[in-house]
Amino acid sequence: MGRKKAYKIMYILTPVVFLILSLFFSIEKIPDTMFIRVKDDIKSSYLLKVNERKDVSALAVGKVKDQSELNSKADVKLLGLFSVKSVDVKRVPDLSLYPGGTSIGVKLNTKGVLVVALSDIEVDNSKVSSPAAQSGIMVGDSILSINDKPVKSAEMLSDLINESEGKEVKIEIERKGESIIKLVKPVKIPKEKKYKIGLWVRDSTAGVGTLTFYDEKTGSFAALGHPITDVDTGTILNVDKGELVASTIVNIRKGVRGTPGELKGVFVNESNVLGQINSNTECGIFGKANKSILEGNRVKPMKVALRDEIQVGDAQIITTLDDKGPQYYDIKIEKLLDQDTPGPKSMVIKVTDPRLLAKTGGIVQGMSGSPIIQNNKIVGAVTHVLINKPDTGYGIYIEWMLKDSKIVD
């Protein structure tokens, strides 16, 4: 009798458990920021109703003064009654952008100098612990000033330390967006007649990537689809100033399982700056440029696709492998990933084009930023390759790049 009762309870509870789990995953799939078209309604389900907090009737007749008025908040409610989540709503106009695919040279100077290593100091055949480390300076910190004098380069850092003549110096660092003051006493190196604080720094970097899009209306560009990070520390480099210049691909190292491939390029006509880099974020590099950035790219403007318009299935990328310029290559979007916050891993993509596989083995370094096209719309950009599957990698939703480019406020 007890067993029959247990079966009945399980029979009743099982669908309830599945319903709760389904509801939980449905809530989890709702992003913190929802991008929708200006005149579209927010999509709801029977279980989860999404109610916008303001009257949007003015949107349909164009009674808005600027982009910020298109943004609002919405409440997600269970059965329209119980509030479970609040989300930001960003209304996006029907944008048309020039897709990129051109190879670009990137030159970046950091804000201050980046600490990439800490080291003991050798003095008269003995070692002294790093004064910088003892004061609490860490790898990944950016040194902004010494005794209130801005630090612009590694050479300037060395000069300011020497000027101290061994007296304690006040060092301003930036760590995870926070400004911190450290006091450090330099150590004299008699043989070199210099003072040191026991650290290694980097003040610039350069490389080759791919342009994602250009907006003729605002002069804004986006590239890479992922941040530029320091090769030693993995820290996202803080931009002081940066430039885009033309580049050309001179060689291709084909990707194989376990070893990523690479597009090897050189800068061309460096005196002719194509654009200024203003920011380096989780979603790529962004800034302003003139239309010469599209030179050699004969594409016309394309509309952008929001997340709910992207489908698993056939797509293309535009990328440059040689002096023929940007070309279309076939790929498949294999999986669309749920993302609450911006990041470069939004979708799983696989190269299917035999021409691209023959030349590169799939996705290679330098291809990051290549726009992903589906149904004649820009849906994202290539960002990463899977080391053990060179034909497979990740792409970023174009929404995230639009947000960081400030085209969508």
- Residues 69-124: pLDDT tens digits? 566 676 666 665 566 677 667 677 778 999 999 999 999 999 999 999 999 988 87
Catalytic, 271? Answer no
In a domain, 389, yes or no: yes
Catalytic member of 368, 384, 404, 405? 368
pLDDT of residue 408: 74
In a domain, 11, yes or no: yes
Q: Is the pLDDT of residue 187 over 80?
A: yes
Residue 231 belongs to domain with CATH number = 2.40.10.120
pLDDT of residue 61: 43
Average pLDDT, the chain: 85
More reliable by pLDDT, 55 or 259:
259
Number of domains in the chain: 3
Lowest mean pLDDT among 44-58, 197-211, 275-289: 44-58
> Is residue 269 domain-shared with residue 334, that is, in the same domain?
yes
Catalytic member of 226, 391, 404, 405? 226
In a domain, 260, yes or no: yes
> Is residue 378 domain-shared with residue 230, that is, in the same domain?
yes
Lowest mean pLDDT among 97-101, 183-187, 190-194, 400-404: 190-194
pLDDT of residue 193: 83
> Is residue 83 domain-shared with residue 100, that is, in the same domain?
no
Catalytic member of 75, 232, 330, 353? 353
> Is residue 126 domain-shared with residue 191, that is, in the same domain?
yes
Catalytic, 384? Answer no
Of 197, 231, 260, which marks where a domain is finished? Answer: 197
> Is residue 145 domain-shared with residue 160, that is, in the same domain?
yes
Of 135, 164, 197, which marks where a domain is finished? Answer: 197
What's the whole-number mean pLDDT along residues 340-369? Answer: 94
- Residues 267-321: pLDDT tens digits? 988 888 999 999 999 999 999 998 888 877 778 899 999 888 899 999 999 999 9
- Residues 135-159: pLDDT tens digits? 999 999 999 999 999 999 999 999 9
Domain with 225, as residue range(s), is 96-106+206-404
SS3 track for the chain: CHHHHHHHHHHHHHHHHHHHHHHHHHHHHCCCEEEEECCCCCCCCCCEEEEECCCCHHHHCCCCCCHHHHEEEEEEEECCCEEEEEEEEEEECCCEEEECCCEEEEEEEEEEEEEEEECCEEECCEEECCHHHHHCCCCCCEEEEECCEECCCHHHHHHHHHHCCCCCEEEEEEECCEEEEEEECCEEECCCCEEECCEEEEEEEEEEEEEEEEECCCCEEEECCCCCECCCCCCECCEEEEEEEEEEEEEEECCECCECCEEEEEEECCCCCCEEEEEEECCEEEEEECHHHHCCCCCCCEEECCHHHCCCEEEEEEEECCCCCEEEEEEEEEEECCCCCCCCCCEEEEECCHHHHHHHCCCCECCCCCEEEECCEEEEEEEEEECCEEEEEEEEEHHHHHHHCCCCC
